[in-house]
Structure 1
Amino acid sequence: MTHSLSRTARSLAPAFLALALGVSSLPVAAADAGTAPISLQSTTAQPAVPGVNADLRLLHHTMLGVGGHPVPATTLLLTPKGTPPAGGWPIVAWEHGTTTPGQKTCAPSQTPELDGGLTRNGFKSDYAWQIGQFTDAGYAVVAPDLEGLGPDASTPYPYYSLSSLARSLIAGVVAARAAESRLSDRWAVVGHSDGGHGVLGVEPLAGEAAGLTFVGTVASAPYVAIEAHAARFGADGKAASNEAAAHQGLMMQQFQGALMATGLKVTQPSFEEASVMGPDLAATLPRFRSLCSVAAIGTIDAAVKAKGKAFKGLKADWASQPQMHAFLAANDPAVTPGYTLHQPVLIVQGNADPFVLETLQTQFADKLTADGVPLTYKVYDGADHFSIIRRADADVLDFLRRQFAR
């Protein structure tokens, strides 16, 4: 389904994020009254990435954290080789998917594939390939590690926090503009999986600052409709005709709840895991949170295998627990009351994706369309959670070209 595209919106200031939460603990230089600092601390040259023809730097800066205070953050800046076009290189702010539930070292800047260990551990992400496509097309790429991840992180990773994911991108773009004068004032966002979820939160926060032109959003297999995913995986497991499929469904159901409980616990330390899950799943969480994604999934997989149908995991009403219900309502665009977007959006989804299910993604896309969102939604036959990146590449590049040309 394709829908008409709307006008551009103003979003970012070139050096500072507007103060939305009353932060004033750091000095503000050359900022308007009422702004909070995103301060570029330093830059570090990074080694070349095979297949990516770009200059690579790691930016050390601050961002507005979920606690309402500036926190340390790191962002990769990749600029094409050679001379920029008139007006500078347009900016693609790119956000990675789930590389970990909570381990700060599982960050793009800490791995040569720019994917926090996904490829190294068995999930070929194609993240570096996609970034190379963008730089080859003449875009500068801003790729944040995310709040709580990366070498400078000093606070926990607030997994699935939509505002944190969005502000990680915003802060990265602001820091990049401070570090590199040859960047354009026009920018778009692209994200995959949980990064696809994260980019869906950028436009609503664009009014925090002014000065740059936000031109659109690309979400690849965005991780939304969490409660519905957990329910579907659980139902599929119960209906499975063989033991392997039954185990897979149960394990994936538990994985959804473990991720959400991890994110909620960071933003609300008073949250008790026992209110939404049994002791077997709760026992996996300390180790689960300390690992990169593939090993973290393996922890739950092993625990479910050990107990089988006797596994005491998510409670039937887990998503109705008041804190969890509020967390999902605030952070999952599929269920957030009144959620909408006004700038052009492209969502791409594979129908062979075992992690983000096409049927649920299509329901989300239909809801956005019904609400008047200027959405282009494309489903790719046979594409899975990672192959969608290459399958949709031409459509993503075409969408970006058209938005930057407006």
Structure 2
Amino acid sequence: MLAAQPVVAQITKPGIGDGRVSPFYSWNQALPAKPGVLLRSEPLPAELGLSEAGEQKRILYTSTDGVTNQGGLTVSGALFLPKGSPPAGGWPLIAWAHGTVGIADICAPSWSSRSVRDQAYLNAWLKRGYAIVATDYQGLGTPGTHPYNQMRPEAYGVLDSIRAVTAADRRLSRKVVVIGQSQGGGASYSTAVTQPSYAPDVTLLGAVATGTPYIIPSVLTASKTDPNKVDPALAYLFYFAWTASDGADATAFFTPRAALSVNAARTACIFQSESNVTITKLTAANTVQPKPFLGMFVRALPKFAYASLKPNVPLFLGTGTADADVAPAAQRQLVKDSCAAGARIDYHQYEGEDHSGAFLASLKDAEAFVDTLFAGGIVPNTCVSGAVRPA
């Protein structure tokens, strides 16, 4: 199959955090010119899988470099199928967009494992008869720097994972809903607004996102976090700095006190990076050099921007009112701006829930939203009703 297709060379510069994964993740042949082609797969070890899956495999597929918006590369991920036989028309498909895991290849979920929280969430969908394709995103597992929280690369990785598995496995329905949390919430939203132009062949019914980032200038100056409090979330800033600074040494944006933790973030996954922050008692006040950091961040803002705020499909957005990782005010601003742009949003707030708590609390509501979409029904639209639905 591959030999019959036009091919191109894969041009990927060595990236931050590259290596320490198996040869599966490296493709040393010419690439098919078409994005969304499944290159190979292999069984996923049980300890890296989901208990409710009847079949699970690691996958490698082609995509487009979302940083430059041109040229081919490879992206890895995983495919999980429910137990039993597929229904007529194939298993309905969910494209899962994961939250922050780190920027090193070894942090890729298809290589390292998924959190207990994510396993519980994804197993619930498998039990309901949904298949799941789960991208690792560009540069996680595969060669090249992972463009952390950059919206176009993440959308391309999700959309091409859908193309790859639906073309290769006839047991899957062509209809799909994308679901994501945190970094993956941004990827889910970005997938919804990118699909019409990049992947009109993908039958996307809708998108679900919780803890969704909205990185705009007003958000940068609206933080209510105590600058003198030890804050594990500083680890996210280290990842931003390494991947958004166009090759600059990220330690230049932080204080000498933080240098060890900043450097470690290149190869450490998120839980270790957060632990490093806690152990070294880093706070915003003793970690960030405001002028250099904000200068870098403002220059990088276009990379974090959504292509549009008006997707063609309905969105489910969920916010925990106690979210300390992605400011609830920023999430509500995303809803407000999206509604003003003409989006259709079923918006839920989860009182007292934090970043992870809202994700888990939203499951029942998200199931109703997704089930309705696959049944061809009409989902609620907060933008019209004005009613924010509580948990």
Q: TM-score range by the shorter chain?
A: 0.7 to 0.9
TM-score (norm 2): 0.79
Query: Alignment length, in residue pairs?
Result: 348
Aligned partners of 2:93 and 2:176 also within 8 Å? yes
- Which one of the candidate residues 23, 41, 44 is aligned to 1:43? 41
How many Å apart are 1:75 and its aligned residue? 1.6
Distance in 1 between the 2:333 and 2:354 partners? 18
2:363 aligned with 1:393, yes or no? yes
Q: In the alignment, which residue of structure 1 is the partner of 2:9?
A: 25
2:198 aligned with 1:208, yes or no? yes
Q: Which moved more, 1:202-211 or 1:390-399?
A: 202-211
SS in 1 for 2:229: helix
RCO (CA 8 Å, sep 6+): is it higher in 1 or 2?
1
Cα gap change, 1:209 to 1:276, in 2 (>3 Å): same
Distance in 1 between the 2:166 and 2:211 partners? 29
Give CA-to-partner distance per residue, 1:205-232, whole Å, 9 cap, x none: 2222343311111001113337656544
Cα gap change, 1:366 to 1:309, in 2 (>3 Å): closer
2:350 aligned with 1:380, yes or no? yes
Aligned partners of 1:76 and 1:142 also within 8 Å? yes
- Which one of the candidate residues 130, 134, 137 is aligned to 1:146? 137
For 2:79, the aligned partner's letter is: L
Alignment of 1:223-242 (within 5 A): 223-225=213-215, 231-233=221-223, 235-238=224-227
2:328 aligned with 1:358, yes or no? yes
2:148 aligned with 1:159, yes or no? yes
SS in 2 for 1:248: coil
Aligned partners of 1:159 and 1:259 also within 8 Å? yes
Alignment of 1:164-313 (within 5 A): 164-206=153-195, 207-225=197-215, 231-233=221-223, 235-238=224-227, 246-248=228-230, 252=233, 254-265=234-245, 268-269=246-247, 271=248, 273=250, 276-282=253-259, 284-305=261-282, 311=286, 313=288
Aligned partners of 2:57 and 2:80 also within 8 Å? yes
Distance in 2 between the 1:389 and 1:257 partners? 22
Cα gap change, 1:371 to 1:47, in 2 (>3 Å): same
Unmatched segments (≥5 aa) in structure 1: 1-14, 30-34, 239-245
How many Å apart are 1:181 and its aligned residue? 1.1
Cα gap change, 1:258 to 1:84, in 2 (>3 Å): same
SS in 2 for 1:75: strand
How many Å apart are 1:303 and its aligned residue? 4.2
Q: In the alignment, which residue of structure 1 is the partner of 2:123?
A: 132
TM-score (norm 1): 0.77
Moved over 6 A (4+): 26-29
For 2:9, the aligned partner's letter is: S
Distance in 2 between the 1:161 and 1:395 partners? 28
Q: In the alignment, which residue of structure 2 is the partner of 1:78?
A: 80
- Which one of the candidate residues 314, 334, 341 is aligned to 1:371? 341
CA RMSD of aligned residues (A): 2.9
For 1:59, the aligned partner's letter is: I
Unmatched segments (≥5 aa) in structure 2: 11-29, 377-391
Distance in 1 between the 2:173 and 2:119 partners? 22
Distance in 2 between the 1:160 and 1:361 partners? 15
Aligned partners of 1:255 and 1:297 also within 8 Å? yes
Cα gap change, 1:327 to 1:351, in 2 (>3 Å): same
Q: In the alignment, which residue of structure 1 is the partner of 2:385?
A: none
Aligned partners of 2:159 and 2:199 also within 8 Å? no
